[in-house]
Structure 1
Amino acid sequence: MRTVPTYSLYGVNSSEPLLDQLHFESIASRSQLYAWEIKPHRHERFLQFLYIHRGSGEALLEGRKERLASGSLITVPPHHVHGFVFAPDVDGIIVTMTDTYLRTLLAGLPGTVPLFEHPRHDRVARRHALAGTLALFREEMESVSPWRGASLSALLTLMLVGIARIAEASAPAKTQAGSRPARHFRQFQQLLETDYREQNDIAYYAGAIGVTPTQLNRICRQLAGHSALQLIHARVLAEAQRDLLFSDLDIKQIAMTLGFSDAGYFSRFFARLTGQTPTAFRESGRARLPAFAIKDALNATDMAGAADA
């Protein structure tokens, strides 16, 4: 039985934590060991940044294919499925940190952590301040200078601030304010991410946040355009779709892992929200999602096989 692989670091068994809370290396040093292809996987508690100084590649982010080029900056939070194919001429860095270390670095910047909760692909212009910070980070990580650790930590904080500014600028204005509804909504998102497999109702989340179910619905509609129940269902659906596309779990197994009492109930839930049965979605989704590859650099491989990593 194959699920979506969960790695600590590119194929390292997830039971082996990083020696420190931070790890960094060149893209080439790791990916060339795997014929320049990192197959779809996810991390349980690690957040990653990949930055391409020169060269090209492709990224798979939650089933969406992104073309990578010079200046591409990819942010991958925990739990999100991702994979990469790089051209052999790629020159870039990979930074991996624990989510707790991220929160530590951003402790003095309230409201910034939620900006790192979704995968991002940003293009950083050569003259952008963030590009300069990334270049300095690479220089420092390749050096053996005194106080290297302190310098890397400071540069990493600057990197996070730069990424947060880009994310904040692209966020809808109504979600930028640090108002009480916005804080309650972030609490709801964090609880939902932790408990979505438990099939909790709206009253559970509202009580945990300290609001009424009516208030929670109002907040969700104001900030996300959907009711709290719709957001709960959407989170469960997203995980079901990941498992259908990237694992070989059968329908009953997927239903059980998501808290459904039987496969029939899960299938009706899925069909109501997508208009397709789980089996039809798996077949059509995989047909539309061939293995991503760089022309003339790698031979195309079947996406179902890519999930076997």
Structure 2
Amino acid sequence: MAAADSVSKVPVYKLYGEHEQWLTPDMVHCESIADRSKLHDWQIKLHQHHGLIQLLYLRGGSARVCLDGEYFDMQPGQIVVVPQMCVHGFKFAPNAIGHVVTLALPLVQKLTQDIGDAQAVPATPRIYQVGDGDDAGKMNMGFSSLHAEYLGNGAHRNALMEAMLIAILVWLSRHEAYASGEPAREGDRGRQYFRHFCQMIEDDYAGQHSVEHYARRIGITAAYLNVLCRQYVGQSALELIHQRVVLAAKRNLVYTSMTISVVSYTLGFSDPAYFTRFFKRQVGLSPKEFRKRAATLLE
């Protein structure tokens, strides 16, 4: 079997073992290593994420990680950064403790902009050694505080979580990775096209651009762009564009007091009624119904 075919069959998850969207439009998810891995006999099989970046902090115990075909033994005090579409998997010892933080790409870009360093989150897999002493104390506090805030509902929760994430990312930017996974060699050009497409969506999702527009800017046909999207994530290019618009709409509906009309104009819709029909077709609820239901979930 060709390498590109092999990677195209690696499952793409929102979170490991889940195909469904997150219940709320949060852009961060935080859990302990045991929360998910013990449900899978401490083994997370090879998979990849679209639009998500993960940080795994192994605080105790041991683990073996695969990053785009390369295997590494992890020891306590190490952090692995897994970029989107990196094929990865873990085998944990039952005594492994630590945290797994999953970040949506829009949040990552906001954080790196706040830091003023676009390279604060590497584009290829990296493993960092925290070490002992002051550094270990900072990382333990950063990940533990982030997890506690994630589970809680205190005032200014999102702001404090972002502050913890910035602290973690700044630490990473100050340290050299001791090991790195090389990018998968299969279908390099196709994967670059796909990543470029995802980045262009992120940069201008409110522009209401067509698939043809993006394909033309990349220098490929719309048909080939659709082939790549289906190969890597099992969805069409248009579905990915719509998903990003819907995510922005959900966040505006939940976390701002914008009227539905203002939300629609912000996202490039000239007609609020059309936005309402679009949103209901994508989500199954009208914007008003979604806002009401989300409010009960976040109480």
Equivalent in the alignment of 1:153:
162
Give the equivalent residue in structure 1 for 2:123. Answer: 117
**Percentage of identical aligned residues:** 30
> What root-mean-square deviation, in Å, do the aligned CA atoms of Structure 1 and Structure 2 show?
3.6
- Whichever residue aligns with residue 146 of structure 1, its letter is G
DSSP-derived class of the 1:92 partner: strand
Cα 1:140–1:100 change in 2 (3 A) is: closer
Q: Could you tell me which of 6, 17, 21 is aligned with 1:16?
A: 21
Moved over 4 A (4+): 167-171, 189-192
Q: Which has the higher contact order (CA 8 A, sep 6+)?
A: 1
Give the Å deviation of 1:10: 0.8
Mapping for residues 101-180 of structure 1, pairs under 5 Å = 101-113=107-119, 115-129=121-135, 131-142=137-148, 144=152, 146-147=154-155, 148-167=157-176
Question: What is the CA–CA distance in structure 2 between the aligned matches of 1:104 and 1:115, rounded to whole Å?
Answer: 11
Q: TM-score, normalised by structure 2?
A: 0.54
1:42-57 matches, within 5 Å, as 42-57=48-63
User: CA distance change for structure 1 residues 138 and 153 in 2, over 3 Å: closer, same or farther?
Assistant: same
Is this contact kept in 2: 1:76–1:118, CA < 8 A?
A: yes
CA 1:79/1:57 → structure 2, altered by over 3 Å: closer, same or farther?
same
For normalisation by structure 1, the TM-score amounts to: 0.52
Identify unmatched segments of 5+ residues in structure 1: 172-188, 197-206, 210-238, 244-309
For the residue of structure 1 that corresponds to 2:14, the secondary structure is strand
CA distance in 1, matches of 2:138, 2:120: 25
Q: Is it true that 1:98 corresponds to 2:104 in the alignment?
A: yes
- The aligned counterpart of 1:193 is 195
- Cα distance in 1 for partners of 2:59, 2:127 equals 14
Q: Which runs of 5+ in 2 are unaligned?
A: 181-190, 199-215, 219-227, 232-299
Distance 1:170 1:50, change over 3 A: closer
Alpha carbons of structure 1 residues 125 and 168: separation in structure 2 relative to 1, 3 Å:
closer
Q: Residues 1-309 of structure 1 correspond to what in structure 2 (within 5 A)?
A: 3-13=9-19, 15-17=20-22, 19=24, 20-113=26-119, 115-129=121-135, 131-142=137-148, 144=152, 146-147=154-155, 148-167=157-176, 193-194=195-196
Whether the 8 Å CA contact 1:59–1:66 is kept in 2: the answer is: yes
Secondary structure of the 2:9 match is coil
Deviation at 1:145, TM superposition (A): 7.5
